[in-house]
Structure 1
């Protein structure tokens, strides 16, 4: 009896797995055709916007070329040290602009510390690897390290050893800091709609401290960086970091606490929206108490599987009164939120399991009405490039599409 039952269960599991694989292969074919026939991108953007906040001078970027020009300018003006951390650093023209700028800085005596993610390097560089690009061993003023694909030795399977370094920060001379969603590459300079923030003020030391803490977590003791002193206790500016090795995931708590506090509006933009049940409940509860909850997501993202898995959360959000807006004609990669007229976050964490419970992530959390107002203006600009998805439209999608979404839903914890 048990043998027969086990045989049946095995066949069911294999059948489900086979359907998942077939669905994934089909989506990959669709995605390849879509990318091959992709039309030129077009989307609204605004010039870098300066904001005088309570304790920091800030500039918000919505276009990669603007951001990269200012980052290169900051690197070229450095006199003491540069600390740079990214997920994807492509070896194209934009990537080489950054590499050349780091070498120029090191040549004039600036200490340059660099971190990139090995997964981002191997799997997201268009299949072209240039090992010499990432080799800085001949320069005494450049210290460089990559976040490994696999770590922990025989304990590689343990959750403490999961996670890529998905962070994107740059600090210069204790005086300038950059944080946001932009990776480094030609594609991100012109074709993607993303959001980055430049800060001058107490927030810079918080970003630099986050870099130093990460570096010292993985570097041998004789290569540790000195601790950052003089940090502010200003509660209106906080750097919130996920650190898998220490089992720390406060970004999810940051979102839940601030969503629960909302009384007027919650406006969010996320490249990959796969919220867990607690976040869905928090958002729909906010709607019930009269909060205007809106979320912008890509119409088509750069990860088609993530798109289809994300659809599993659309129905409960729409039924709960959350308004979803699909961004058109370009990939929107921002990870931002604003609540009421007070709170804003800009950073690297998506609302998905991989960001909230898996990767090394970093977000800047700010209570500042001026920055909140600027981000609201940008959100409204982005809405002009969106189509709203209604519950009625969603319920009318074809049955085959619904079945495909159901087949892929078990994959959500992996994305």
Structure 2
């Protein structure tokens, strides 16, 4: 008799499948339990430690002109917020504002009051916030007068996480566009914490390049807004400037150009690749690009926080540090305050500033936007900022990293499979 038809053999297969399923289930349970334990321990550490009194450097904005565009680079939130609020108060036609996180604190209230005032004087006001990122924000704060059109990007949408990527990415963008004449984009969310205690980077654009930001907002709004909210005019661009372009990751269209920006820029590098990232978990191709650049003599440096606000991302990111250090990449740990910037510059010619981290969620999952600027003046400004940030860093050496406790190495390897979720 064919063994496939043997009842005892089929019963054995069923038992084997049950054992395998249970083993996988226990492994996943153990892994997520370990992750939960790490998060709990980190929260306990934060509660026991007094809040840091350190402040981000209160540096002045830097200005450049790229073609017909005036570019201002901000590295201090308090100054950025004042200029954003002033732009909203000067609006005559429309205000488009998207923020991944919009805290219901003093700074958040100032922005809410500003958009309400604009709507009250007849300005078209459209705002977007991410529902998941703002779950802890009081629901009352997220209610606006009828004159303010609000798109709360849903917490739960149809689709299977990690499978149907068209429907599972978060809206991680931070954009403000006013009247089509001024636009802001970068890493800063809206909140009091970010005003003085986080080191981040944002751009202001005045000129034709504002269309890049406006078009991103309009396309997202028209694709995702619910019934009852207005469609926004899609103007098209009357000006093409290859030196100032926006790369927009759009999961609903399976378009992820930000990752390609980094890969191409690293491939071109001959002298310097300087990157600043709040969360740095490079995929295989980006890791290989950094190592290849270092092998051909390029000065590859990455600034990242000594400890970020996401301990699991820290642990997973550190599982790559030995490979990077052994390959000649310099790692600089920003001390005292959280560095949250998403920037890079190559050879003093190319620069990017935006919302995308170098991790899976940003480069292959979320809605993101990065400005790409090919101009020595702007790249030079970004290199000045990088050198300034190095003053607040300590460089990690391979020898130091190899001497870390053995248990930490085991923790990195145990949690590294969580990378697709980070």
Q: Which residue of 1 aligns with 2:65?
A: 52
Q: Which residue of 2 aligns with 1:152?
A: 158
- Report what 1:249 is aligned to: 256
Q: 2:131 aligns with which of 118, 127, 135?
A: 118
Q: Which residue of 2 aligns with 1:332?
A: 339
Select the residue among 91, 103, 106 that pairs with 1:90: 103
Could you report, residue by residue, the CA deviation over 1:251-301 in whole angstroms, capped at 9, with x for unpaired residues? 111110111011110000001111111100011101111111000011000
Aligned match of 1:27: 38
Distance of 2:16 and 2:321 partners within structure 1? 36
* 1:349 CA drift (Å): 0.2
Unaligned runs of 5+ in 1: none
Q: Specify whether residues 299 and 257 from structure 1 end up closer, same or farther in structure 2 by C-alpha distance, changes over 3 A only.
A: same
> How far apart in 2 are the matches of 1:300 and 1:153?
33
Structure 2 unaligned blocks of 5 or more = 1-11
1:197 aligns with 2:210: no
The alpha carbon displacement at 1:31 in A equals 1.5
With over 3 angstroms needed to count, the CA separation of the structure-2 counterparts of 1:45 and 1:267, relative to structure 1, is farther
CA RMSD of aligned residues (A): 1.9
C-alpha contact (below 8 Å) 2:333/2:394 kept by paired residues? yes
Deviation at 1:397, TM superposition (A): 1.0
Tell me, in whole angstroms, the C-alpha distance in 1 between the residues paired with 2:127 and 2:239: 25
> 2:107, 2:172 → 1: CA distance?
19
Q: Does 1:173 align with 2:184?
A: no
Number of aligned residue pairs: 408
* TM-score, scaled to structure 1: 0.94
**Alpha-carbon distance in structure 2 between the residues aligned to 1:295 and 1:30:** 27
Conservation of the 8 A alpha-carbon contact between 2:352 and 2:371: yes
Q: Provide closer, same or farther for how the CA distance between residues 298 and 19 of structure 1 changes in structure 2, counting only shifts above 3 A.
A: same
SS at match of 2:205: strand
- 1:66-145 equivalent positions in 2, closer than 5 A: 66-122=79-135, 127=136, 129-136=137-144, 138-140=145-147, 142-145=148-151
Structural mapping, 1:181-220, within 5 Å: 181-219=187-225
Of residues 390, 402, 411 in structure 2, which corresponds to 1:404? 411
For residues 302-345 of structure 1, what are the alpha-carbon distances to aligned partners after superposition, in whole Å with 9 as ceiling and x for unaligned? 00011001112212211111111111001100000000111010
Query: 277, 281, 286: which one pairs with 1:274?
Result: 281
Give per-residue Cα distances to partners, 1:75-125, cap 9 Å, x unaligned. 111111110001000111100000000011111111111111101111xxx
Question: Displacement, 1:24?
Answer: 1.6
TM-score (normalizing by structure 2): 0.92
Distance 2:248 2:85 in 1: 25
How far the C-alpha of 1:154 sits from its partner, in A, is: 8.6
Contact preservation (8 Å) 2:55, 2:196 = no
Per-residue deviation at 1:159?
1.6
* Cα deviation digits, residues 120-163 of structure 1 (max 9, x gap): 111xxxx4x43232222x433x2111111122379996221011
